Amino acid sequence: MERELNNVRGRIFNIQRFSIHDGPGVRTIIFLKGCPLRCKWCCNPESQGYQQETITIGGVTKEVARDVTVGEVIDEIEKDRAYYRRSGYGGITLSGGECLWQPDFSEALLRTAKSRGISTAIETTGYADMDIIRRLLPHIDTVLMDIKHVCGDKHQKFTTKDNSLILENAKHIAREAKCLIIRTPVVPTFNDTEEEIASIAKFASSLEGVKEMHLLPYHRIGSDKYAGLGRAYEMAHISPPTKEHMQVLCEVVKKYGLECQIGG
């Protein structure tokens, strides 16, 4: 079975080691290509399209994506196993892009990692058919799911997609996942008011078994990638939220009985 899984192919654009912000312990993050959303603040715009493309930064042009097999990725992951043990609960995290939009590759990679005793996590928008999500859930230890807004119109304005599917899927994932953590990117002009964060926290606290919510402050890291891809960065005029404001929003979340963490 593992031999068959090892031959499943997917498209990624990066493997990042030694992350401490994308799941418990030290993580190896595999960034997959392709995402259904087009968030205006996205710091990985090269992740959005599934197609092969090039990016030019600092006068250097390079291919964004590469096609790999599960076996090739697992070989890279195995190099980090010692760091997982030392951190107590490290492992791999599938990010993107959106791993749910490469379900065969994601399922095969997660299954193989679990069979080798490696902890698994995904970072997801939750925007996919629930049948696809259910294929992956048995092989995932931690789901880190974005709830960006509860207002469908505003969500669509800033991401190009309505959030009704996301909110409905969150209810099912909360009941069926081993662990679900809600994460909210805090983006000025989009969702950074106390009222908006309160509405997200209220929804998160209503989800079965959810105890934790992370607030991720907006930043401009990655903005130069837009020019490198020949695209305009619409959020260039937006300043990141202050530490003081983030702390105020964190206290709002706590009022709904959730643990709150600033940053991933």
Dmax of the chain from CA atoms? 52
pLDDT tens for 27-45 read 999 999 999 999 999 999 9
Q: Tens digit of pLDDT per residue, the chain (264 long)?
A: 777 899 999 999 999 999 988 999 999 999 999 999 999 999 999 999 999 999 999 888 999 999 999 999 999 999 999 989 888 889 999 999 999 999 999 999 999 999 999 999 999 999 999 999 999 999 999 999 999 999 999 999 999 999 999 999 999 999 999 999 999 999 999 999 999 999 999 999 999 999 999 999 999 888 999 999 999 999 999 999 999 999 999 999 999 999 999 997
Give the 3-state secondary structure of residue 11. strand
pLDDT tens for 47-95 read 999 999 999 998 889 999 999 999 999 999 999 999 898 888 899 999 9
**Confidence (pTM):** 0.96
For residue 94, the surrounding DSSP H or E stretch is strand 91-95
Burial class (CB in 10 A: 0-12, 13-18, 19+), 25: middle
Tell me the C-alpha distance between 200 and 203, whole Å. 5
Tell me the C-alpha distance between 63 and 69, whole Å. 18
Q: What local confidence, expressed as pLDDT, does residue 151 receive?
A: 98
pLDDT tens for 20-29 read 889 999 999 9
Q: Helices in the chain by DSSP H: which ranges?
A: 2-6, 70-78, 81-87, 103-115, 130-136, 152-159, 164-176, 194-206, 223-228, 243-254
Q: What local confidence, expressed as pLDDT, does residue 41 receive?
A: 96
